[in-house]
Amino acid sequence: MLALVALTLFSTLSFAKTGKTIDQKLQAYIKEFEMVPMENPTPKREAVYVLGQNLFTDPLLSGKNNTNCVQCHSPAFGTGDGLPLSLGEGARGMGTMRHQASGAVLLRNTPPLYNLGVDSATHLFWDGRVSKDENGFWNTPEAGLNGADPELKDIATTLDSVLAVQALFPIATPEEMLGQGSLLTRAEAWKNVVDRLLNGVRGASYRQQFLDAFGTTDINIGHVGNALAEFQRHAFWAGNTPWDRYMKGERSVLSEEMKKGALVYFEKGQCANCHGGMHLSALDWDAVGTPQLGLPGTDDLGLYNATGKDEDKYMFRVSPLRNIAITDPYMHNGVFKNLWEVIEFYDAPEKGLMNFVWQETLTNYNTPLTIERNRENQLARLLAMAEDLPRDVKFTEEEEAQLWCFLTVAFTDQSQQAKLQGVENENPRCRPVSL
Ligand code: HEC
Ligand code: HEC
């Protein structure tokens, strides 16, 4: 107790020099970077949720009856798969035990699904290619859903959220769920899914569930998307983190180590330049020069793939950061295996891009993944890096440990804090927060 009093006194004194306590400084930054607690999702529609939960785990959504959402987005792996690059239809097993078998290596990491169902989650996918435009119309890779007068009007007007729209894409992508080599159009693939659900092996049960959920069995793939979204919205809401509680006024929920880490986040790291706002990201785009990891010869151009605009090359959506401690590995291609590697990268991103050494030997893939070092592409990545990305931070070891503690504990939802047991082995001054 005495030691605690002495420690508190000391830290108050050390900030007295600048006239502000650490809490007052953090208050000012929270305001400056428009950080607010995560909003609550819309009230849960129980029947829609239950239907969505069943659909999330049902391989009937896939063309060959062999793939469901949870194979890649497993709650045991932070709603991802724990692998750098996702493995598509034809792969076997789940999470880090997933093996490529006859599946394709997808270009990108399986992203986590936390907080994507709230209204403010405006852009989905690593490159944000699914969104709602300023007029309230969908903006997606499927022209038939987009704009004021879409060709697939029934579906477009049924869909009730960006998250619902997103769910339609894995279903209709050959390498993901539809089946490699499939030549079906998306509209055909979607029609087939609805047909399998209503008239397939579990038809009677699904007809009842759709009736309970939507009051009709006259359904289209839009209803399927809405149900999948309702499930994800509530099952994967993560707005009760120590950081949310701190912003709501519980000053003692963060330890001294975490508060110092928060200062590193705002000041030396300048992380909030991009990771501010409600989602710890404005969900807009930036290029940070993430090294290219993949099969030999690949080059992920990011947002450019969706827009074709030169200035969008190597841009990715700024990642939201709640529950970040349990969603490893990191970045659009999972090139960094833990948060220490992420911090080390941001310490000097240009060096991080040019010199990063990939040391993993993962047996999940038939061909080893490699870091692509094509000089021209590397140079283009270097030149594309955002202006507000600090190039030469020079964190001290102590600052790295503080920042690590802040990211690891303060951003983790209460329901997941138990998974952080043992973090003090990596930083003795860091501990999970108990309720
Ligand atoms: C084969 C693995 C796999 C399957 C199966 C799969 N996903 Fe994904 N999911 C991914 C990958 C990889 C991405 C990122 C793709 C990209 O950004 O280009 C992704 C992206 C997403 C996103 C966007 C996340 C974000 O932060 O923007 C959501 C939501 C999502 N998937 C939900 C689903 C749902 C619902 C299903 C089932 C209908 C599903 N996924 C099936 C691998 C998978
Ligand atoms: C210039 C904007 C910018 C700055 C500054 C920035 N980030 Fe990022 N951050 C991004 C973008 C864009 C991505 C996605 C990059 C990718 O996928 O290749 C990202 C991804 C991440 C990820 C991986 C998320 C995931 O789900 O895989 C973490 C963790 C992260 N940033 C933490 C930080 C920290 C900590 C700092 C400060 C030291 C920081 N960022 C500074 C833009 C930024």
Ligand nearest to the CA of 163: 1
Going by pLDDT thresholds of 50, 70 and 90, the confidence category of residue 114 is very high
Residue 4 predicted with pLDDT over 90: no
Regarding whether 181 and 63 lie in a shared domain, the answer is yes
Same-domain status, 194 and 314: no
pLDDT of res. 260 = 98
Q: Which residues contact 296 (CB under 8 A, 6 or more apart)?
A: 367, 370, 372
CA 286 / ligand 2 centre spacing (Å):
9
- Cα(389) to centroid of ligand 2, in Å? 10
Q: Which domain holds residue 29?
A: 2-37+240-425
Mutating to test ligand 2, I would choose from 319, 372, 408 the residue with most ligand atoms within 8 A of its C-beta, which is 319
pLDDT score for 122 = 95
Find the CATH number of the domain harbouring 363: 1.10.760.10
CA of 75 to the centre of ligand 1 (A): 13
What pLDDT is attached to residue 37? 98
Q: What is the pLDDT of residues 187-223, one digit of tens each?
A: 999 999 999 999 999 999 999 999 999 999 999 999 9
Q: Based on the structure, what is the number of domains in the chain?
A: 2
Whether residue 399 is contained in a domain is answered as: yes
Ligand 2 contact via 274 beta carbon (within 6 Å):
yes
Could you give the maximum distance between any two Cα atoms of the chain, in Å? Answer: 73
> How many whole angstroms from 365 Cα to the centroid of ligand 2?
26
The verdict on the CB of residue 324 being under 6 Å from ligand 2 is yes
Residues 140 and 183 in one domain: yes
Is the pLDDT at 137 greater than 80, yes or no? yes
Task: Give domain status of residue 126, yes or no.
Answer: yes
Q: Which of 235, 254, 283 is the last residue of a domain?
A: 235
Say if residue 222 is in the same domain as residue 130: yes
Q: d(Cα 76, Cα 343) in Å, to the nearest integer?
A: 24
CATH number, position 215: 1.10.760
pLDDT at 3: 47
Find, among 225, 41, 232, the residue nearest to 118 by Cα.
41
Tell me: the pLDDT tens digits for 70-100? 999 999 999 999 999 999 999 999 999 999 9
Contact (CB, 8 A) for 242 and 258: yes
Q: Lowest mean pLDDT: which of 15-19, 255-259, 360-364, 417-421?
A: 15-19
Asked whether the predicted pLDDT for residue 232 surpasses 80, the reply is yes
Q: What is the mean pLDDT of residues 224-252?
A: 98
* Amino acid identity at 24: Q
Return the residue whose CA atom lies nearest to atom 23 of ligand 1. 125
Atom of ligand 1 nearest to the CA of 108: 12
Residue 6 has pLDDT above 80, yes or no: no
pLDDT tens per residue, range 296-321: 889 999 999 999 999 999 999 999 99
Q: Which ligand is nearest to the CA of 111?
A: 1
Report whether pLDDT(13) > 50.
Answer: no
Taking the CA of 94 as reference, the closest ligand is 1
SS3 string, the chain, reads CHHHHHHHHHHHHHHHCCCCCHHHHHHHHHHHCCCCCCCCCCCCCHHHHHHHHHHHCCHHHCCCCCCCHHHHCEHHHCCECCCCCCECECEECCHHHCECCCCCECCCCCCCCCCCCCCCCCEECCCCCEEECCCCCEECCCHHHCCCCCCCHHHHHHCCCHHHHHHHHHHHCHHHHHCCCCCCCHHHHHHHHHHHHHHCCCHHHHHHHHHHHHCCCCCCHHHHHHHHHHHHHHHCCCCCCHHHHHHCCCHHHCCHHHHHHHHHHHCCCCHHHCCCCCCCCCCCEECCCCCCEECCCCCCCECHHHHCCHHHCCEEECCCCCCHHHCCCECCCCCECCHHHHHHHHHCHHHHHHHCCCCCCCCCCCCCCEECCCHHHHHHHHHHCCCCCCCCCCCCHHHHHHHHHHHHHHCCCHHHHHHHCCHHHCCCCCCCCCC
Which residue's alpha carbon is at the smallest distance from atom 12 of ligand 1? 110
Calculate how far, in angstroms, residue 346's C-alpha sits from the geometric centre of ligand 1. Answer: 26
Question: Which of 235, 255, 285 marks a domain boundary?
Answer: 235
Comparing CA positions, the residue from 106, 98, 107, 99 lying closest to residue 366 is 99
The mean pLDDT of the chain is 95
Instruction: Give me the pLDDT at residue 435, please.
Output: 56
Note the pLDDT of residue 19: 81
- Point out the least confidently predicted range of 14-18, 105-109, 180-184, 316-320: 14-18
User: In this prediction, what percent of the chain has a pLDDT beyond 70?
Assistant: 96
**Residue 213 resides in a domain:** yes
Q: What is the mean pLDDT of residues 130-153?
A: 96
What distance in angstroms lies between residue 321's CA and the mean position of ligand 2's atoms?
9
14: pLDDT strictly greater than 90: no
Distance CA 361, CA 340 (A): 19
Q: Do 391 and 294 reside in the same domain of the chain?
A: yes
pLDDT value at position 17? 53
390 and 268 in a common domain: yes
Which ligand approaches the C-alpha of residue 384 most closely? 2
Residues 69 and 169 in one domain: yes
* Ligand 2 lined by 389 (C-beta under 6 Å): yes
280 and 133 in a common domain: no
Nearest CA to ligand 2 atom 39: 271
**pLDDT value of position 327:** 98
- 26-45: per-residue pLDDT in tens? 999 999 999 999 999 999 99
Pairwise CA distance, residues 68 & 70, whole Å = 6
Is the same domain home to 215 and 247? no
pLDDT band at 148 (very low <50, low <70, confident <90, very high): very high
Q: For residues 105-129, give the mean pLDDT.
A: 97
